[in-house]
Structures are given as structure tokens and as C-alpha cells.
Structure 1
Amino acid sequence: MSIRDIFAAAGVHGRLHVCDIDSDRAVGLDADAPVVLSSIVKVLLVLEFARQVAAGVLDPAERVVVGVEDRFGGWGTAGCSDDIELSLRDLAYFAMSVSDNTAADVLLHRLGGPDVLGLLAAELGLHRTRIVGGPRQLLESMFADIGARDDAEFARIFPSLPPERVATLRVFDPGRTTASTPEDMTKLLGLIWRDEAGPPPACAAVRGLMARQMAWTRLRSGFPAEVRVAGKTGTLPGLAMEIGVAEYPDGGRYAIAVFAGGAGRIPRIDVDLALGRAAATAVDMLRDQR
């Protein structure tokens, strides 16, 4: 089954770029098309954090308090009932392992705000990548676009909106939200895995955090157990995505960026599995070319 057929069987439209990290071989499907990044932007966030630590600008053990005013929904610290104190490096861990939006937002504020991520993307040559805000700004844009005052009102209004109204929200428009292309994302991964995105200890830290992601139904599901997969997912209603690297026992390393749209508002396991199958099919095509 072709990559396009895999997406079609799941009832979604897909965009994909997979490349051999150590050569110029690649497979793509609309790989230069703009895509919404959602939580995938957290890879840039933890990279900037790791670079500042390596430069001696930040102490990873610095303690911060995450209070009720910081929490705005999601997993990890966002679900806590009381104020909690933890280190900056633990904020990075929660942001990557369970895609904790609150942890990511607090860490981004400590790094200097969204502009630092835009500057990082430009420095790395990710010319199709644009950052318009952190997790809180993106959520607030959704609230504003549908006229909700808080998460409770959003939860009440959003399910009743017709699809054509949902499509007008800024978070679904790559031209008005944090966005990139599959090619830019595999370029980012290649830089990290070759220790070219910053000092080697910083790149190693990002690789380690991506390997600790708990989501397994997307990229991880497409590969056999002996293949090491490190990644970062992103999710919005109707959108499922992940970027990551598959490392084979024989030394082969493959950067993957796969995005699917049109999945409906409720997360679907068949769409997740399709992302994994499409990624594995592309990697197999590259391995067959060796």
C-alpha cells in the first residue's frame, strides 16, 4: 500500500517528509506544504532550554512554583489542584513526556518568551517555521475566536460549532498560527541528531527527552521493537501529527515528520496508527535504496 493510500484508508489527508539523517536521501508527500505545529513546537522549546543550560545562562535545577494562575488545562502539572514546586529541567521533562502545556508555558516565560523560539528557528535555517506564541497564547486565540471566556465555556460552545466555523479558527490556519513544513521539521531533527543544533550536550539532552515521550500509538506503533523511536506529538481537533527519529540496530537513522488532517474532533486510534504505518513505509523505501 502506498503512503497516499494509507492516509486515504484512514479518511485523512496526509503530509510527510522522511529523510536519512546521514545522507541526502528522502521521501516526501506534500513535504513543503505549510502545517500547523501545535505541541510539536515544544521540541524547539526544550532545545532552547538545553542550549541556555549548556551556555551557563540557566541552572537546570532552578526551582519554580507552578500556581493555580499558571494552569490552563491538559496533562501533568496542569491537572494539579495545589501549587507545586519543581525544577526547570522537570518542566522540560513534563512538557515533552506528557505534552504538559502549563509546564511548557512556564518554561517558555523563563527562557524569555516566544520570540526566542522564532530567533532559534531563524538561526537554524528553518525559514518556513514561524512562532506566534506559546501554548497559552494559542489557547487564548481559540477562546477569543469563538467568544468563550474560559475553558468551561469553551467546552460548552466548541462541540456545537459547525465544521465551517471551526475551520475559521486561527489555530487551524498555518498562515495565522505557529506553523512550519514537514521538510523544516526533518531538518530540525537532523541538526539535533548530528549535534549541529547547539552544543553536543544540549542536543543529547533533547534526544533524551524526546525518547521519554509516553505517546506510543503514532510513530512508535509503526516500527518493530528493536527500532528506537524518539518523538513529539501534536494534536488539535481534526489534526494529528508527530515528528521523530527512528534508529535501527544497524546504525540507520531516519528523521520523520508526518501530519494528518480531517480526522474529526474526537481522537481516533486508526488515524494514529496510520501515521505510524506511513512513516514506516517511507523509511522502508529509503532502506531499500541503500
Structure 2
Amino acid sequence: MIEERIRQVFAEAGAEGRLHAIPVHGPARAVGETGAEAGAKPGTGTGSGSGSGAGAGAEEPGGREVGIGADDPVVIASIFKVLLVLEFARQVAAGQLDPRERVRVTAADRLGGWGTAGCLDDVELSLRDLAHFAMSVSDNSAADLLLARVGLDTVRLLAAELGLERTRIVGGPRDLLESMLTEVGACDERDFAVRYPALPDDRKRRLAVLDPRRTTASTPREITRLLRLVWTDAAGPPEACSFVRDLMGRQVFRHRLVSGFPDDVTVAAKTGTLPGLHMEAGVARYPDGGCYAIAVFARTQALAASRPTVDAATGRAAGIAVGFLRGDGR
């Protein structure tokens, strides 16, 4: 049984996994196409406003799927940036935002990590470059500043409009960081770096950011629905969906989903990572044009943020699930 094979993959890596994988069918122009191929960027096309027509190409009742805990609540961490950037792109397409608007990232905005979040000096860039860094290297400062411009409530409304009824966004990266500081009793990130390692593991596991009931969360099924909508131009104007697909295709992290597929399969995806949580959601496109949306969430008892064996297991599980959907006997 395919589900048992996948569970075994996670178990061998010392993890418990949740997964959902489905074929993506839709307009030939949209499926698997990047923004570069479409020749469009937000604001360069004739967007139709915020309306998404989310029913088109969204669901296929009775269609093939692979699911393990597909409807269980899961922490989505940085995967929420897919919704954030989609809302940004829709606002640009509607003429509500200028993608070239300049933003200055200062010391007060830095959250640590990749991209502008880890810069030592102030950086100035455009809104669309904030989106680029938020998606390609999961830049938390860029995502936070973009969220401030786009609006938290509008991102929540977008999730509801797309039928993501069990998806909840409590805030941006800074909100989540501040909740961790408060729970640990740290006054700043430097103090947190001292206090957090000294906590017992059971105390660490009780942090709100690791609990889908108290933080930004969704289900594997709703995340693959979101991907299907984006890949079929049903999540907004075509140029907005194309922009999101393009940026997901530029993600630099290749150690999870990508590792489970042959070299000739292209994967556009977004990772998410927290202590003990390893996740990624994306779309794999085969040379024959077949596209498959996959969302994988792995949880370990060990609270390390880096676990290569678990990362490899997420890729292998995704590859097995898609192989089953393709009927190739994997």
C-alpha cells in the first residue's frame, strides 16, 4: 500500500509525516509555465482586478490523490509566503500597488537569516524585489515589510476567497518571532539565543509557533489546493499567478522536494522550517507535461532545524507519491 511505503520512509528518518499529492490539470499555457516563459510580470498585463474565479480548475472530485493525514492541521511557517506574494501580485495586477515602489530595509527591520534579513547595512529595493527575496531565499524581513504594505487582513481574505477554510494566518515573521521571545522570556534575539538552548525539550515543544492550533497553519490538502489554483490561473489574474509560479521556480533550496525527483523534472516550491518541523510545498513538472502538486510536512522529536535525513525523506516521500499518481510503479 502506497501510504504504508511513505510512512515507512518517514519512520526510517525518525519523523512523522503528513502529505498530500494530486495531479494538476488546467490551461495548457498555465500548467508548469514560469513567469519568464509567459513574458509577464505583475503590472505589465491587463489584470482583471482581484477576482480569482477560484472554481475554475480548482478541484476534481474523485480524482487520484495520495494522502497521509491530508486533512490534519499542520504548521505552515514560511509556506504562508505563497499566499502573501500571491496577494501582492493580485494588487499589482489590479493597479493598487506599484511593484517598483522603493522600500528601505533598516537595522530595525532585520530578523536574521537569509537575504536582507541578515544584511549588516541598510538596503533599498522595490516591492517586487521584496517578493523575490521572500520566496527565493525565504527572507523574513522582506516578507514582513511586504506584508505591512499588502495588509494582513487582505491576505486572510484571500485565503477565504480561495476556499482555504482551515488556513489561518496569525501574523508575519516578526509576530511569530515576538511570540517566541515572549514565551521564552527574552528581551531580544540575542537574549533568546542564550535562553532557548537552556530550555528542556518539553518546554520547547510547547511554544505556540510549533502548535497548529495557535499559529499560522493549514492542512496538506488546502496547500495543494492553493498550488492547483495558482498553476491553473484560477487564483487571480493570469499575470499574478504567473509571477508566483516564476518566483517559486527560483527558490534556491534544493534539499527537500527536488531531491526526490529525476534531474529532468522541474520543481517549483516553497520551504518552511522551524525546530523539529521540516516542510515544503510545490509542483513537479515532468518532460511529458504532467504536473503534480505536493505538500509534505515532517515532524521530529529532535528539535534541530537542520536534519538532512529528514529533508531527504520529504523528497523521497514526494517522489513515491507522484510516481504512484503517474502509475510508474515506484
Please give the alpha-carbon distance, in whole angstroms, between the structure 1 residues aligned to 2:64 and 2:153.
Answer: 33
Q: Deviations over 1:229-273 (max 9, x none)?
A: 000000000000000000011111100000000152321111100
Report SS of the residue matched to 1:230. Answer: strand
What's the counterpart of residue 13 of structure 1? 16
Task: For 2:5, give the aligned amino acid.
Answer: S
Please give the alpha-carbon distance, in whole angstroms, between the structure 1 residues aligned to 2:118 and 2:111.
Answer: 9
**Residue 83 (str. 1) matches residue 86 (str. 2):** no
Please give the alpha-carbon distance, in whole angstroms, between the structure 1 residues aligned to 2:214 and 2:307.
Answer: 26
Give 5+ residue unaligned stretches, structure 1: none
Matches within 5 A, 1:1-290: 2-22=5-25, 24-112=63-151, 114-262=152-300, 264-266=302-304, 267-288=306-327
Report SS of the residue matched to 1:20. Answer: strand
Q: Deviations over 1:132-191 (max 9, x none)?
A: 000000010011111111111111111111121012111011111000000000000000
The answer to whether the 8 A contact 1:238-1:263 is kept is: yes
Cα distance, 1:73 vs structure 2: 1.3
Q: Deviations over 1:76-113 (max 9, x none)?
A: 1011111111000100000011100000000100112x
Please give the alpha-carbon distance, in whole angstroms, between the structure 2 residues aligned to 1:176 and 1:263.
Answer: 19
Supply the RMSD in Å over aligned alpha carbons. 1.2
Which of structure 1's runs of 4+ aligned residues deviate more than 6 A? none
TM-score (ref. length: structure 2): 0.86
The answer to whether the 8 A contact 1:115-1:131 is kept is: no
Count of equivalent residues:
289
Task: For 1:231, give the aligned amino acid.
Answer: A
The answer to whether the 8 A contact 1:94-1:103 is kept is: yes
TM-score (ref. length: structure 1): 0.98
Cα distance, 1:131 vs structure 2: 0.6
Task: For 1:248, give the aligned amino acid.
Answer: Y
Give 5+ residue unaligned stretches, structure 2: 26-59
* Percent identical residues: 64
Shift in alpha-carbon separation, 1:289–1:81, aligned structure 2, 3 A = closer
The answer to whether the 8 A contact 1:240-1:263 is kept is: no
Cα distance, 1:75 vs structure 2: 0.9
